[in-house]
Amino acid sequence: MDETAELAAFRAETRAWLEANCPDEMRSPGAGDDDMCWGGRKWTFKSEAQKQWLERMAAKGWTVPEWPQEYGGGGLSKDEAKILAQEMRRIRARSPLSSFGIWMLGPALLKYGNEAQKKEHLPKIARGEIRWCQGYSEPGAGSDLASLRTSAVLDGDEFVVNGSKIWTSYADKADWIFCLVRTEPDAPKHLGISFLLFDMDSPGVSTSPIKLISGYSPFCQTFFDNVRVPAENLMGTRGKGWDIAKYLLTHEREMIGDMGSPGGVSMRDVARQEIGTDADGRLNDPLLRVDVARFDVDSYAFALTMERVKDEAKAGQGTGAMSSLLKYYGTELNKRRQELLMSITGSDGLSWEGEGIRDGALAKDWLRSRANSIEGGTSEVQLNIIAKRVLQLPGA
Amino acid sequence: MDETAELAAFRAETRAWLEANCPDEMRSPGAGDDDMCWGGRKWTFKSEAQKQWLERMAAKGWTVPEWPQEYGGGGLSKDEAKILAQEMRRIRARSPLSSFGIWMLGPALLKYGNEAQKKEHLPKIARGEIRWCQGYSEPGAGSDLASLRTSAVLDGDEFVVNGSKIWTSYADKADWIFCLVRTEPDAPKHLGISFLLFDMDSPGVSTSPIKLISGYSPFCQTFFDNVRVPAENLMGTRGKGWDIAKYLLTHEREMIGDMGSPGGVSMRDVARQEIGTDADGRLNDPLLRVDVARFDVDSYAFALTMERVKDEAKAGQGTGAMSSLLKYYGTELNKRRQELLMSITGSDGLSWEGEGIRDGALAKDWLRSRANSIEGGTSEVQLNIIAKRVLQLPGA
Amino acid sequence: MALVLNDEQRMVKESADGFFAENAPVAQLRKLRDGADATGFDRGLWAKMAEMGFAGVAIPEQFGGAGLGMVAAGLIQEAIGRNLSLSPFLSSAVLSATAIGKGGSEEQKAALLPQIASGELIVALAADEKARHQPATISTRAEASGNGFRLTGGKPFVLDGHVADRLIVAARTSGAETDTAGITLFLVDPKAAGVSIARRSMVDSRNAADIGLDGVQVDGADVLGEIGGGFAILEAALDAGRACLAAELLGVSAQSFETTVDYLKQRDQFGVKIGTFQALQHRAAHLFCEIELARSVTLKALTALDEGDARAPLFVALAKAKTGDVAKLATNEAVQMHGGIGMTDEFDIGFYMKRARAAAETFGDAAFQGDRVAQLLDY
Amino acid sequence: MALVLNDEQRMVKESADGFFAENAPVAQLRKLRDGADATGFDRGLWAKMAEMGFAGVAIPEQFGGAGLGMVAAGLIQEAIGRNLSLSPFLSSAVLSATAIGKGGSEEQKAALLPQIASGELIVALAADEKARHQPATISTRAEASGNGFRLTGGKPFVLDGHVADRLIVAARTSGAETDTAGITLFLVDPKAAGVSIARRSMVDSRNAADIGLDGVQVDGADVLGEIGGGFAILEAALDAGRACLAAELLGVSAQSFETTVDYLKQRDQFGVKIGTFQALQHRAAHLFCEIELARSVTLKALTALDEGDARAPLFVALAKAKTGDVAKLATNEAVQMHGGIGMTDEFDIGFYMKRARAAAETFGDAAFQGDRVAQLLDY
């Protein structure tokens, strides 16, 4: 495929800039969560290189390459952004900034926020100055997100927020929250919801971490006790917050769905090592070999479906109906993957803590994966969505 | 287990009688449907031995050993009947008579019929003089049996029957039908149903065979055009026919559920022969070996469940809730069994007709098995029943 | 190459979808079956398929074909799957054309490929000897004799073997029964002395024949490819066939599924549409996902063959495994959700179930392909 | 023997169900885990279990036990599974008691079995050396030395190895690494010179230890059974253990299932009880069937052991395979149907999921047992 002269020039410049500006320590895949840079007021950089890399990328707007320059973005075209991503992969450059602000709030702000809100929040997200968390789920609500009860009552030019949110990732480390609240208690349940942005340092906000079956987690429960939020922090139309929520949920589904694709620990490598192979190179356990092969069939088919969906979207042929498929199948597949890894590793995998190489990591990943088909809309909800929107079955 | 002197004597007598009276040709398992004796007005015995065997057994009442003698039965106790069955198995004696009259109508008559009806019908069933068929399902009704529309309108001392039944096995060979009809068109749907018995030779009755995907089948569609049925042929209470239907459906479920147990063609034998084994005796196809082993796990567990259910019933511990389980799991297992046999036999199994040893029988069995989870209450209906009656889930 | 159809391929798809729905719907299969037709397909249809350029879709333009490659061939076979259309497309235009294109001399290609593309010549591939696919297990012997060979052995279940004008026969010139080396392909005239052909009736009403070879004399010029080097050609032909079968299975699945979803929307039971039952909704939604996965991996396999991607055999194995399982699930769910009516011969869905199983079995079922996946991925 | 409990067994069941629910509920497991208790179980509970006759349930009366057999032992372990109770029941009262009963001399039985039955002596079985169960793969060497042997090797993941008063160690006196012949069992004092013991923390909070043997000297009198004939004893012990694990898995499944059905009846979502959703109803009904099947095959396995049925190893393999799969399904469905709350450590269901997987793995998972089924049925 021939690149236009302009794009070729952009590629050359980008490559040169990255070579000059990406610190060596940032040129390797990080070892997981701990090597990610999340930014925010409370952030402590893990290294000088991490700080430098964020600052340099943010200065060019390349933490959010496609956002407009006026909001701290790089103003790149789709093609340019793709080239930047390719060139970063080429030198194995880490992402300079991980952020719910970038992944979730930013796109919603660009679509639903007013000019003042965009000007205020987007540049701080782009520079990693403010770290955001998401306030959606509530205790007892589960899949029925719209049944939320956290209330926001207008008192003068402030909303007074009372209630509680659950499953707020990193709420204890975040600076601000984007939060679904009920402003019209008497309206039908989907119509009384609004979308509020506020500072987690506001008086009346407190958080408490949640311990999962897999151990400590980034999840928190968050409590609001007469928190006063300026009225101008309402995003979008009052009572129409559910539209923004649906928009964001589609985003989230796609992110979580990504997990079933081949990647991470290679199951085949683990299997060869743990089970051993015979003279013909076949795994010594024929039953597990079958399970791995069957998993590979579905895993490749799923990864190729993600590829096809992206290609179709690029070609303008997307049906838009695939995010539930990817969420449902991807998370179920990841659970199967973790189950299979546990079977392959036997009692090694069952170790919880201790001196073993894996140090309980396998078991924790396995347990953590069980939540994939619950969070971000359960598998059952995704199947309901497919039945209704794609298949248009009656009563779905 | 010690047998009482009485039972021991019964066993000795029975053994001697069987030795003297069971013709040699009747001492081998028949080769399927063609070797069964169904009786009835239109019946042609396949051999003199078949005729003799039926007549001798019927004379003792042993076609229906536990029915009262006054109705043509043997009047045996449970223990005696068990001994008779054991002794018949010992010499591999065939069943003298296959009959929906024995399996289905008889028990219902004994429970719901009036004295005149019992006297009239039971002895003829016991002697194989009248062959019965079952008129339950209707075209378009499917699982929703109670939505039946065949009407029976009282006109003087006769009901006039109009409508149509489907899936009536051997309707074209049967002499009489036991039939669900709607006598109260304005009552709630379960309350307007009655249970009628009538002669298939009555004017206005016609039948038409149904061809299945597996080929010709015993199933027919049956049409009723102003068929006049004496009012005394109503069995049980008018409008309460649904109770009899439910009683009979439970029976049918248990009969069909039996099919998942190991038996018939041994899958292991077929697999060894078709796939071959290696030096260690393992099947040459490791993936199919896994599938056979997994099938065996479920198949044994199911067969043992049937055994346990019977043992519990004998011990008076039965819960009565198991017939749906047996129907559901047994038929699904049988489908899996047939699928697996097809996989094992490859293109041999795909042969339809011709000179091959199997002559399309495998493919036909496979196709026929697909109906198991539909007939006698679909798998979905059985799961609904379990959810409602056993688990008592709300709204089930 | 992106996993989307290009303009040319979209045109092929549109014309194939329209063509088979109009000219070879399920009703035609039913008629041929009920009439126990001796040919087993409509020669008029096959002539029309050739006119449409379908018979030569994957044959290079220099040999009279359309040169559109395997993605296009797969789209045609997907439409065949949707309509259960009968023709020698798979055996002649895919399997044999690929074998000749890969292994044939310039003379053989020039002599045979244009005739295949025009539909005049039907060539069938006689490879397998076992009821379960084991392509390297070949006992048919080819012994040197005169300026050629004498072939002795048997080939059961040869697709379209009863109507073929030419056979490609895999025979052993050396090696033990299961060696991949030592297999040689021969072009054999079915009318030659010593060839016996017995038609087989199959569950899916497809056409197959048992072919006997009793000292059949062939010329040195009838060797396709190198002596002893036939297995690589065979594998190429089989992979083309498997990928197209995957596409057919995709068509079978999609059509069965759509028919079922329509039925769920119109069938009343217990006073409501059965499509309102959540248990059925979830099963249908799951099946929708499975069919989409089958679609992706099939397109990848066909694309990889067109691109000469070294991983093509892996993608083909993945596609054949996945589509075989999905088609079985789709047709089984279709029959179950249709209830009694789905079991009757009068209703079409049974034909789809029969074809799904047969096509899933042909050239390796999910067990065979899974083993192949494991081998290709080195475990 | 019919597949129903006799009066004696029903009494055992009632007393076990009541005992563990009252004395060792999940809360106790949680407390022991959170406190990182060094023993890993409550010694007071174990003493009470001995008083109840549980520790000696399967030990013959002549050696101080109750002589009630494996069905009774299974009922106790099923109650353990329902409550996730922690104790050395499996390792000492089942595995070790069976090994000593089967292989021990009269002196050894008289010395050890009464003490096991009274709960005073905890004996652990140190057999496996691989992360995945391969009972014949033994590299630990036993070399003749003085009037006895010197043992050198390692045993990872020995159940209750850190609290055992005596170890039964499988070591190789002859043969290659995977031979079943040449394995000998030894009674080893964990305090002997050369024995090292390191506790392992496991996902299910069960107690295990890695045991090192560095030239440990044992006496000729410490040999259990014949020299080189240890494998048959080991298999008997393992089959007893597998059958009891099947019973435990059944208890885990049934308890998880009942908790979930209760939740379906009380949890509101979208304005209705979630138990009204037909998709969940069907999944629950299916799971009910699976658990009933698991119950039947488990009872058969235990019964067959008690009857000395030659097919006992087959039934044990079937039971372990079935219950392992069913328990994983039951606990996974439980977590999924509970939603977010099921994922929190605060809620008990996660403990069941962890135990289900560990118990399914112990002494052979469904893959191992399936292979064994195939071998025992000769295919």
Locate the domains of chain C by residue range: 7-121, 124-229, 232-376
In chain B, ranges of CATH 1.10.540 domains: 5-106
Return d(Cα A195, Cα A136) in angstroms, integer: 10
CATH architecture of the domain with residue range A5-106:
Orthogonal Bundle (1.10)
Q: Which position has the token pair 């009774």?
A: D72
Burial class (CB in 10 A: 0-12, 13-18, 19+), B186: exposed
- Smallest CA–CA separation between A47 and chain C, in Å? 39
> Closest partner residue to D285 among B302, B322, B386, by Cβ?
B386
Mutate to test the interface with D, among B272, B285, B294, B297 (most CBs of D within 10 A): B297
In 3-state terms, what secondary structure has residue A214? Answer: coil
Q: In D, residues 99-138, which contact A (CB 8 Å cutoff)?
A: 128, 130-133
A195, A234 Cβ separation under 8 angstroms: yes
Quick one: pLDDT at residue A32? 66
pLDDT by residue, tens only, chain B of 396 residues: 467 899 999 999 999 999 999 999 999 876 666 788 999 999 999 999 999 999 999 999 999 999 999 999 999 998 899 899 989 989 999 999 999 999 999 999 999 999 999 999 999 999 999 999 999 989 888 778 888 999 999 999 999 999 999 999 899 999 999 999 999 999 988 899 999 999 999 999 999 999 999 888 889 999 999 999 999 999 999 999 999 998 888 777 766 544 444 445 678 888 998 889 999 899 988 888 999 999 999 999 999 999 999 899 888 876 667 889 999 999 999 999 999 999 999 988 898 875 444 567 889 889 999 999 998 889 999 999 999 999 999 987
**Assigned CATH topology for domain D124-229:** Butyryl-CoA Dehydrogenase, subunit A; domain 2 (2.40.110)
D175, D167 Cβ separation under 8 angstroms: no
Q: Is the ipTM of this complex over 0.95?
A: no
- Smallest CA–CA separation between C374 and chain A, in Å? 6
Distances (CA, A) of D292 to B306, D245, D254, D296: 10, 16, 9, 6
Return d(Cα B138, Cα B150) in angstroms, integer: 8
Quick one: pLDDT at residue A249? 81
In 3-state terms, what secondary structure has residue D370? Answer: helix
pLDDT digits (tens, 9 = 90+) for A115-165: 999 999 999 999 999 999 999 999 888 778 888 999 999 999 999 999 999
Q: Tokens representing D242?
A: 């597998």
Quick one: pLDDT at residue A359? 65
Return d(Cα B171, Cα A325) in angstroms, integer: 48
- Smallest CA–CA separation between B75 and chain A, in Å? 54
> Where do the H-state alpha helices sit in chain C?
7-23, 26-34, 43-51, 69-83, 97-103, 106-117, 230-266, 278-307, 312-338, 340-343, 349-361, 366-376
C231, C174 Cβ separation under 8 angstroms: no
Return d(Cα C73, Cα C89) in angstroms, integer: 9
Q: In C, residues 19-38, which contact A (CB 8 Å cutoff)?
A: none
> Closest partner residue to A301 among C2, C261, C322, by Cβ?
C322
Name all chains with 3 or more CB-CB pairs below 8 Å to chain A.
B, C, D
**Contact (CB<8Å) B213/C345:** yes
Amino acid of residue D200 = R
Q: Tokens representing C304?
A: 């990889």
Q: Which class is domain D7-121?
A: mainly alpha
Quick one: pLDDT at residue A263? 44
CATH of C232-376 given 3.40.50.300, 1.20.140.10, 3.40.1000.10, 3.40.1080.20: 1.20.140.10
CB atoms within 10 A of CB D367: 24
Tell me the percentage of chain A whose pLDDT exceeds 90.
69
Rg of chain C over all Cα atoms, to the nearest angstrom: 21
Torsion sign (Cα): C241, C242, C244, C249: positive
CATH assignment, A132-239: 2.40.110.10
Quick one: pLDDT at residue B265? 63
* Chain A neighbors of C315, CB-CB under 8 A: 300
In chain B, ranges of CATH 2.40.110.10 domains: 132-239
CB pairs under 8 A between B and D: 131
DSSP-derived pairing of the beta strands A193-199 and A234-235: antiparallel
pLDDT less than 70: residues of chain C: none
pLDDT less than 50: residues of chain A: 1, 257-263, 355-357
Q: Which position has the token pair 């339950």?
A: B136
Which run of H or E residues covers position B201?
none
Q: Tokens representing C233?
A: 């050609």
> Closest partner residue to B293 among D2, D289, D371, by Cβ?
D371
Quick check: is A332 catalytic? no
Amino acid of residue D98 = T
Return d(Cα B107, Cα B111) in angstroms, integer: 6
Contact status of C6 with chain A (Cβ, < 8 Å)? no
Q: If you average pLDDT over residues D47-69, what whole number do you get? A: 97
Amino acid of residue A33 = D
- Smallest CA–CA separation between C322 and chain A, in Å? 6
Return d(Cα B47, Cα B59) in angstroms, integer: 19
DSSP-derived pairing of the beta strands D183-188 and D166-172: antiparallel
pTM of the model: 0.89
The HSE-up count of residue D223 (CA atoms within 13 Å, CB side) is 18
Quick one: pLDDT at residue B220? 94
Q: Which position has the token pair 């005073």?
A: D120
> Closest partner residue to B288 among C204, C351, C367, by Cβ?
C367
Contacts of A286 (CB under 8 A, 6+ apart): B286, B289, B290, D371
CATH architecture of the domain with residue range A243-390:
Up-down Bundle (1.20)
Short-list C68, C43, C57, C227, CA closest to C122? C43
Return d(Cα C323, Cα C302) in angstroms, integer: 13
Phi-psi region of A48 (alpha: psi -120 to 50; beta: other; left: phi over 0): alpha
DSSP code of residue B199: E
Quick one: pLDDT at residue C110? 98
Amino acid of residue A156 = G
Amino acid of residue B180 = L
In 3-state terms, what secondary structure has residue A151? Answer: strand
Question: Which residue out of A80, A87, A138, A252 is catalytically annotated?
Answer: A252
Quick one: pLDDT at residue B1? 47
Which run of H or E residues covers position B189?
none
Question: Which residue out of B80, B87, B138, B252 is catalytically annotated?
Answer: B252
* Chain C neighbors of D278, CB-CB under 8 A: 277-279
* Chain B neighbors of C202, CB-CB under 8 A: 350-352
Rg of chain A over all Cα atoms, to the nearest angstrom: 23
Quick one: pLDDT at residue A78? 87
